[in-house]
Structure formats: structure tokens, C-alpha cells
Structure 1
């Protein structure tokens, strides 16, 4: 290389150092006693102290290299300096070396440093043979569904539409339809189709046919991440990223050996030589939780041999970061896909009404028969539907409650399958109460609160009153799971005043055609008494509730209004609902205009806990603009139930249609209603959770 080329090389290196402060700097030692072979990773900067390596009495030095090596001296030598001529050696003289492209052959580049004494006599020479390789471990850090090359943000996570960081799904579905086991619990990859649930990570290399003797690549994870992730690799390679479509037709399960797991924290991976890519498939094993923030780091290191008998040392490390996708609930305002109900020996009327509502509006209906439900009719209480999402894959995931009654096997045995995931939280050291049933788990539509937007809504749970020391609570293990998902920040309401204790007994959400997009419906004893007093003033005091349900059930409007104890009980209930009303207004950013009060009375049972006096109309199923509402059997005026008429009047203004379903004997008398006995799987949000501003 001539002087002019050297000056251009030096200028290039100086600019590169000034512009890119993130360049990986690696220390190396010059040796005048032996020729060195150094493996260089393109993109890094070798940094050697010239004075420390110099022979005794050295005063000057010169540098010579082949054309594909660039170097600089720090402190910077003047541009007019000829690097081939002896230069003064200072105590802090540092040689900086870089290479712009990978080598075609081993040791195809060379650099030498010659040292001189006071009178320019030769004192020694350090010779380095250099082999350059390109190495990058790549992921979909920009979240567009493609694995880009060496994204500068691949090793970190940032929320928001301008954020970055790769996404990992928990592989909680099952490719099996018989003898089911979650894919994350399989020992390996059981079906090639399972790969689509994993995130692709690509090792890209370029360089000579093989690494110099003793060098090797290893992939490794920390002990802390070991229970949360597994990594498989593809034996096949190509110059371009393999697609899943090709793999489905050309690969076998044995072509994807396990690389990293809880038992294998570090493993050597092949260096293929030339220009090559190797696909790795990263599998999430657990959701974010109290003891896991959802972040996973995978490292790739290049190891250099040392003296015989000693372990290799890392000379270069690349890392990528994944965030495990959260479990996301779906509110009533999202489009229904499929409705689930149970068939029992005594719920024919309920089934008849639900079939007409669901199938008549074009939705799928799944009936769980008695051989599976074992007499347990409370479909809402056993499970909650949600989903997980990434740029490359999305599928529904059912959250199984810890209540474990007759329906306990249904979520796993009937729902778990290909592209349908399953997750549960077992309360091993906690008492499971009625508050752990998922009628006590709801989610709001998207809301904005004091300038903060919740585009995926907020989870709502019921707990004991803050001052209660004997109250029931949702188990901590379930609450911890819900909080750890982050994207639907939970709200805790007071529901322990109810005998069953579920938030769906006094509230629900329905869609609205305006900008708000929804209304909150609240049970209101005050509204119930107002309606009944109005009927009394209109001369309908003798109109009967529960007509047709047996004489022992029937009661007149006058008798209800004359029952002072019932009035006192409902005053207490109203105060409990008002507490929750204030919490919901504050936490969801609601005004009174966003809330509709429904005329519903309650009565108190043992321990002064409340149940609905007549079928609880707020405990409904929402299917688009069609509502399936418990038939209240209220007092009739001019042949029409006054409670039904009031409900229709309140909902018609929102463009909603009311269908009243007879659940009196088979659900209401057992302290539940339509919502308790049904469940709905809905379409996911269009909004992508990773675009949240956190």
C-alpha cells in the first residue's frame, strides 16, 4: 500500500471512530517474539498499546499492512505523516486496526509493527496474520415479520410505534389432536407445523471455509432465562433465509435439534464458511409473571483458544433480546366468533333461547354436553378467552381458572389444539374461593384516562373491601399473572359484598355507535325502586313479579315496596355499587353520561351477602348489536313486562336489540344468569400490543 492509500485509510478510520461511538473495541497484545494469528470480526476495532509491547529502549515505530487492513494511531498522527517512516513512540501510543470486509481465505491479511532505537536501529518486529469474518445473530427487531440484518436495536426492547425489539410467543398450543400435550412441554419438535409458533433467529456468517484452528462459535443463555425459552436449529442452510413454506415440504422433525434449554445453557453451533445463514427457532415456555418480566436475552460468542489445557476465552459477543407476548383479554365490543354453553338435564329452555339468539345471528355455537361438564353449567366461571400475538403468528389462548369443578377438563381436553393455546395458574398454597371463578374477571373496551390511553382496555377483577380482614379475594397467583401482562392494567373492584362475589353480577359493557364506543351498564336498586314506585302511582301496584313461576314465587309491586327490610338491604347494595361506580369512573375516565343504570333489586343471604332478587339483567351475553338478557319476569303492564320494556327503552337508543332468555329455574335459582352460563370467543384487537406507549 502506498502513502496516499495509507492516508486515505487513516482518514476513513478516523471518521468511522468519530461517527460511531458504539463500535465494539477489543484489546489485543502485540508480540515481537512470535508471529500471531488473529481472528477479526468485521465491525469491531482492535486496540493494542504500542508502548507496552515494545522491546526495551524503543523510541520509534513504523506500521505496514496489506490493502484490506486499515489502521490509525492514537493520539492521531498528522495526515502528512508517512506511516512507513519511523514515528515517535509515546507512553500512550495505541494502534487501532479495522477491516472492512470478510476474508476469503485464512490468514489472507497481514500487519506488522517495527520498533527502532534512538539511532533508528531495528529492535524488533511484531507480525500479525489477520482473518476477517462477518458474524451477526439477527431477529425481527423492527417487528415487520422479517429478520433484518444486524439491526442496531436487536439487543434491547422499547415500547411504542417507533420502538424496537423482537417478540416471542409462548408455545402453549398443541399440534396433537389426540393424547394432547402442550408443545412447550414436548421434549422436542413434534410436528414441522410447530415451527410457525416460534420466532426465527438467523445466524449470518461470511468468511473463509473454516475458522482458524481452535476458534468456535457458541450460543448461550443465562440461568435466569433457562426456564422461559428453548432454541432449536435447522440443519439445512442457504444463502437466503429459509421460509416455513419450504420447510413444510422438505424437512423432518429430526432436522431441528435442540440447542438451548433449561438443561443446556451453552452449546457450540456450526460455522458454515463462505456466505451462509442458519435458522434458529426460538420457543417461549412461560408467560410474564411476578418472577419473570418477559424479557429474554440470547447470546452468541466467538471463542478464542488460549494455551493447551485452558478454556477458550470470548473475543466477540452478539446478543438479541425478545419480549414474550402477553396474554390479552377481549371485551364485549369486539366481534364474536364462537359462543360456548353447557347442556344439562334441566336447561332445555335456556339452550333453546341461546340457540335461537346465537345461530340466528350467524355465530358459531359450541355445546358442552354432560359427559364432559359433569353437571357443571357455569361456562363463564371456568375459563376466560384471550389471545397472543406477534408479527408472524397469532392464536387464541384460553385461561383456565383454578376453580376446578365439573368443567375442569373442558379447556384442556376440548379447546387446546393446533393454534389454540392453553394457560392456567394453580393456587397450590392458597384457598380458592368463588372470587377465583372468571365471572369475576372482565375487561373494559379501550379507554383514555387523564391523557393515558389504554387501547386494549383494562382488566377488571373483584376483591374484598379494602378494610375487610375476613373477606374473600381472588388468589394472588391469578392476580400476579394478570398484572404481569402489563398491556391491560387491572382495576380492582369491591365484589365480596355479593354472595357469589362476581363483578359480572352488577356490571357489563355494551357497544355504542358514538365516539366513546361503549356504555357501562350498572345494576341499580335505586332505578328499580323508582320504576316500581312509578308503576304503583300509575295504579299497577297489584301487578305481579314471577307470574307463571308458581304461586309461592309470585309477589306484587305493592308487597315489594312495603318490605322495609328489603329496602334497607337494597340501600346497602346501592352503596356498594356506588363505591364501584366511583372507582370505574376514575379508572376508566368515565362521566355519568357513559353509564346506564339498570333497574335491578337484590336481597341479602347469609353473612349479609347479596344475590339478585329477580333475574339479573346486567348479567347478559353481548353479541354485536344483539343482547341476550335474562328474562326478568317483572310486573306486566298492558300485557308487557315493565322491566323488559324499560331495558329495551334504554338499549334501543344505542341501536341494540334485546332478546330475553328464560334462565329462571336452571340458572337464576342457582344464583347465576345468562352470562354465568355462557362464554364468547371474540376476534382480537386490530391494535398491536407492542405499539403501546408505556
Structure 2
């Protein structure tokens, strides 16, 4: 609710005032009346509309009105003035015999002032949207969107644009949200009045505002004209150092464009909402501060960082080249070429021997009605690939964000094989059109264990639009959720299937092989450095069976969480035949047992549309074909998926990772707009 502005007037005195069109003003008539006043009347020019409270009884337009202790004059102005003080309002005061005692005169200048943004989120800055000062989620919501300016327009000595307090390239403007100051009125404001733009100290760390400098081309020489057209014609207006600054009033009908950039993503201490204010200040007296007589406020919501699931279309595949992965790299290159996607190879001079492309980074994007671009989230693991996201990916329309953590707080669970996202789901009537983030942590009842570092978890939760799910992954030696789960597209049901590693499915397959007379078929045939083992030897190993019973119980716990949190039925889940083994890990004089895949972990695959790059399991052969590969094809090809098995045994599996760990995929963004979420 907008409250009227109170104006003070004095009898036998002329008061000059500036009024904003559409704003209501009130004058306490009794307070400004001379002694012995009993009646009053009001006269004004046509551009002024007024009313009186309490409402007087029916009387002639010119008849004096009885004056009471609470008589108030309410007035507003319907249009902007062409000249200063071109509207007048006078209050006449009368005595008991209705003789004139005095007059109070107002000379008024009306101006239109509007600070405007794209509050209806259609890509166009509309004029004076009634909802521009608040944020509301949903398709019928309102409120402007602001991008974090985290890409880099600089080719040399690059750094995210948000780290510099000036605009160096015109192309940087598209990353910012436009804000327009619209004014209408006389050629200039009355003496002493001025417009100021201001932000709070709390918002100042999250936003910067630049202004499009205006030039009178007719009065400038050629050099000045070139300057006015150059990017340095965008001076900084508001920042953490400048919370308030005067902005121009152009006179007549004018517009000034401002460009707003976000500086930080939503986080535990920042909900993403930013307010920018424009105030008209009125002078009181020389040497005294001006006072605000009108304030217009707009609200921006900083766009969240959004992850992309396996069901979205790939754009580009990333992989490392190392001295020992040539065979793997060739197979992956062939698969990517067959699918028609781009492949970017990170060579050893950049990766410094670090082959785990999935663990170093996660691809996502940010989106607004006017612009969208990919943003890489850099993990705090900081191994050989630590410089790759910043040095190789950050660029024009490719953003970068990271979260710093103390080295002692970082564990294997901070690698981003431990960060996944589901396809869109509906859970108990609640729709998640952008899916849900999935992370792995220590078991809830564990008194000690590894966890994803708090700064990363806080960041992921603060984005809100992909509400995270925490799974138990600390039972694994490496500790990543991609070691026991992934998603693949499907033509039916929910549009995808959840794939889970399943020792039970593995033992079931091996028992069927034994029953069919293939108990002597061997795993790891063709691997000269690997000891071969028969199906019967696996089935007869009671210790291995117990270990896999434990692993199955861990996966089943996560299965129940995923079914509950993603709204899945058993028909939405496919169990893959994968066995594990436990290894000892000494931690502070205690022995901890954690799991590794017994043979290449087939769930740890790369998903490229309908084409799957699956670790070659080297399972027992039946009639010349690997029984594990045959089972995978039987489970997945019915969904229209194509299985390609990639030999990663020596270069990845033996180093505790697989195909997914060694690759990464940048994907298309969702068609769904995050601001249309029902919150």
C-alpha cells in the first residue's frame, strides 16, 4: 500500500513543490490555517485532482467548507509539467462570517519518474510494471532476472568479468540486465532537486550498476563522438564502494539506460534477491541534507546455477590424453564421432597427468529472459586438472564458478563424480522440471567419515531449483555416487531409467551360467596382467559373497532413498550385474573396509543420447560372447539404446575409475525456464 506524502504549507506564503505524477499528497488544513479560521475552500488548475476528508456535505463548488481539526486535502497530478511551477493550488481560509482571512498557495511542478526492468520476464523492459518491486515464482509470477557476470570477454589475462569494475567490451552488455530510468517533465528540475540511485550495504557485495552515458553529438567533435560510442561511455554508478549516486534527469521526455550485473550466486548467506532504489530528493535549506520525497524500487533475482542430466542432448565431450590411455581415447573418439558431437581433448601439458575429467568439474548453465550461457563449476579437489576449467573453458559466454575450501576439509567426496542430477520428476504431486541434484555423503549415523565439503553443499542447496538429495556413498573406496548409479533416456514411463549396480543381479547371472554348464568360463580372458577366475570360483568364494551382501545393503539403502525422493517405482529401475570387493583402508589407527568394483563397473558409463559408452567388463564368455555384455545389451537395447563397450581396464579401472570418471559432457539447457517453478 502506498501512503500519501505529507506536504507542509503556510498561510500568506507561497510554497514550491515537485510532485511525481500518480503519487498522492496530503495537506493538514487545520495545521496550516490562521487563527480564528472556521471555513476553507480550494482552487486549482485543471491538471490537479483533489479530494477532502472528511468528505464535506453537499454544497456549492464555490461555497466555503467547514474546517475541522482533522480536515485533510488529498491531491495528485495527472500529467507532467511542461514548465516549472506551471500548476497552482490555493487554499482560502475564512472567518466565522466567511470573510477571507488568508491564503496558502502551492506552486507545483509535476514530473513522471519510473525505474523500469523486465518484470514480466518476456525479454522487454516494460514501463512502470506494478509488480517490479517484488519477486514471485511461477508462470504467473513476476520480478526481473539478473545473471552473474561470470564469463570473460578478455582474450588475454582473462578473468571473470565480475572481477573488474568497468566494461571493456560492448559484448559484455548482453550478460547484464537492462534497467531504464524514464522521466517526463520540464527541461530541468527546480533548483536543488535531484535524482539519486542507491542500494543497501547488504546488496552492494552482490551487484554493480553501470550507466549508458549520453552525448550531444551536435556539440561534440569527432574524437568526442567516438568516445561517446565507445564502451568506456558506461561509467560505474553503484558498487560496494558507491552505495548512492546522483543520476541525470534529462528533461522533456527522456530515457537513461543502466546495465546491472550480478556478482555472486545465491548461497547460504544470500537468497539471490537484490533491490535497487531511485529517489527524488528535495532541498530543505542550504547546508542541510536533502530529503527523499519519492522512491521507486525494483527487485532482481539472481539466476541460479543449473545442472544438466543425461537425458538432455549432448553438445561437447571432454576427455584427457595421457601416456597410457591411447586405446581408450581412440575408442571414445570413434563413439563421439559416430554420434556427431564435438570432442575436446585435454592434453598432458594441461592435465599434468590427471585423467579424471569428471571429477574436476561439472557443467551447468545460467539463464535469463534475455541471455543464457554455460557455466562450469570447478571442484575444490585441485589436482592436475585444477587449472583446466579456468584457463581452457572460461571465456566469452562461458562462465566459471568455484567454491574454495580449506585443504584439510577436502576429501574424495568433493570430486564431482560424486555430483549428479536426475532428469525431471514428479514426487507426491510436486513437480521438479529441472530434476534434482544428487550428492554422496557419509552414512547419517556415522560418527566419522568423509563428506562433501560444506561450502559446496551450501552452494548447491542455495540454488533451490534442483533441490538436492543426499545419498550414502562413503561405503565406496573412492566414494562417488557415479560408481553405483546413473540415468539413461527411455521412450516410456518417466522418460528415463535409473540404472543401479547390483551384486544380487551379478550373482543371479553367474548362478544361471553355472546351471547352464558354464561354471568354468573365465573372467578377465585376454588380459595378460590379470589373474583369470572362473564363474564357479566366484560362486564358491564365501568371503566375496559376504562382502557383496554388504554392498547390496548399501545400494538398497540408496535405492529406497531414490525411490522416495524421485517418485520412482521398481519398474523405473534397472539392476546391472556388477560385483564389488572390499579393501582395507587404515584411518587414524582404525581399519575401514570400503568397496571397489570387482571387474569394470558398467554403471559408470557415458551417455550420449541413445548411445552408451560402457566399460568393457571382460566377463565370462559363452559361445564366444561376454555374458556380462550380453546381459547389458538385453537390459538396455529394448529401450532403444545402443551399447558400445570401451576397454578402460588398464588405463582407468586399475586406477580406480571408469569411462564416466574419465570423461565429461556439456549438454543443451532445459527448455523449461527456472523462474516458472512453483515454489
TM over 0.5: yes
2:570 to 575, 580, 592: 592
Partner of 1:42: 21
Structure 2 unpaired stretches of 5+? 217-224, 585-591
2:96 to 101, 118, 139: 118
Say whether 1:382 aligns with 2:360: yes
Partner of 1:679: 664
Say whether 1:478 aligns with 2:478: no
TM-score relative to the length of structure 1: 0.94
Say whether 1:54 aligns with 2:33: yes
Partner of 1:13: none
Alignment of 1:521-536 (within 5 A): 521-536=499-514
Cα offsets for 1:250-278 (capped at 9, x unmatched): 82122100000000000000111000000
Say whether 1:459 aligns with 2:444: no
Please give the alpha-carbon distance, in whole angstroms, between the structure 1 residues aligned to 2:163 and 2:347.
29
Aligned 8 A contact 2:524 2:530 in 1: no
Alignment of 1:78-89 (within 5 A): 78=57, 80-89=58-67
Partner of 1:8: none
Aligned 8 A contact 1:237 1:276 in 2: no
Aligned 8 A contact 1:216 1:303 in 2: yes
Please give the alpha-carbon distance, in whole angstroms, between the structure 2 residues aligned to 1:390 and 1:551.
54
Structure 2 counterpart SS, 1:360: helix
Shift of 1:85: 2.3
Partner of 2:597: 612
2:543 to 549, 565, 573: 565
Shift of 1:308: 1.7
1:490 to 464, 468, 490: 468
Shift of 1:617: 0.1
Partner of 2:588: none
Aligned 8 A contact 2:421 2:435 in 1: yes
Shift of 1:429: 7.4
Shift of 1:82: 2.9
Partner of 1:469: 447
Alignment of 1:76-115 (within 5 A): 76-78=55-57, 80-115=58-93
Say whether 1:412 aligns with 2:390: yes
Aligned 8 A contact 1:138 1:147 in 2: yes
Partner of 1:328: 306
Aligned 8 A contact 2:615 2:648 in 1: yes
Please give the alpha-carbon distance, in whole angstroms, between the structure 1 residues aligned to 2:646 and 2:530.
22
Partner of 1:67: 46
Q: Figure out how many residues of one structure are paired with residues of the other and give that number.
A: 664
Which stretch has the larger CA shift, 682-691 or 112-121? Answer: 112-121
2:622 to 637, 653, 670: 637
Alignment of 1:158-237 (within 5 A): 158-236=136-214
Please give the alpha-carbon distance, in whole angstroms, between the structure 2 residues aligned to 1:31 and 1:237.
42
Please give the alpha-carbon distance, in whole angstroms, between the structure 2 residues aligned to 1:264 and 1:233.
14
Say whether 1:514 aligns with 2:499: no
Partner of 1:148: 126
Shift of 1:249: 12
1:441 to 390, 414, 419: 419
Shift of 1:517: 0.3
Aligned 8 A contact 1:169 1:388 in 2: yes
Structure 2 counterpart SS, 1:44: coil
Aligned 8 A contact 1:166 1:322 in 2: yes
Please give the alpha-carbon distance, in whole angstroms, between the structure 2 residues aligned to 1:473 and 1:406.
22
Shift of 1:436: 0.1
Please give the alpha-carbon distance, in whole angstroms, between the structure 2 residues aligned to 1:313 and 1:123.
32
Aligned 8 A contact 1:24 1:43 in 2: no
Shift of 1:568: 0.5
Cα offsets for 1:380-404 (capped at 9, x unmatched): 0000000000000000000000000
Cα offsets for 1:234-261 (capped at 9, x unmatched): 01389xxxxxxxx999821221000000
Partner of 1:688: 673
Which stretch has the larger CA shift, 670-679 or 538-547? Answer: 538-547
Cα offsets for 1:561-585 (capped at 9, x unmatched): 1111110000000000000000000
Cα offsets for 1:498-518 (capped at 9, x unmatched): 000000000000000014100
Please give the alpha-carbon distance, in whole angstroms, between the structure 2 residues aligned to 1:449 and 1:574.
25
Cα offsets for 1:220-243 (capped at 9, x unmatched): 0001100000000001389xxxxx
2:256 to 273, 278, 290: 278
1:347 to 318, 325, 339: 325
2:373 to 390, 395, 399: 395
Partner of 2:637: 652
Please give the alpha-carbon distance, in whole angstroms, between the structure 1 residues aligned to 2:451 and 2:126.
47
2:10 to 31, 36, 53: 31
Aligned-CA RMSD value: 1.4
Shift of 1:63: 1.0
Please give the alpha-carbon distance, in whole angstroms, between the structure 2 residues aligned to 1:70 and 1:127.
16
Aligned 8 A contact 2:283 2:290 in 1: yes
Partner of 2:222: none
Please give the alpha-carbon distance, in whole angstroms, between the structure 2 residues aligned to 1:602 and 1:447.
30
Please give the alpha-carbon distance, in whole angstroms, between the structure 2 residues aligned to 1:209 and 1:686.
47
Shift of 1:558: 1.1
Partner of 2:236: 258
TM-score relative to the length of structure 2: 0.96
Shift of 1:24: 4.6
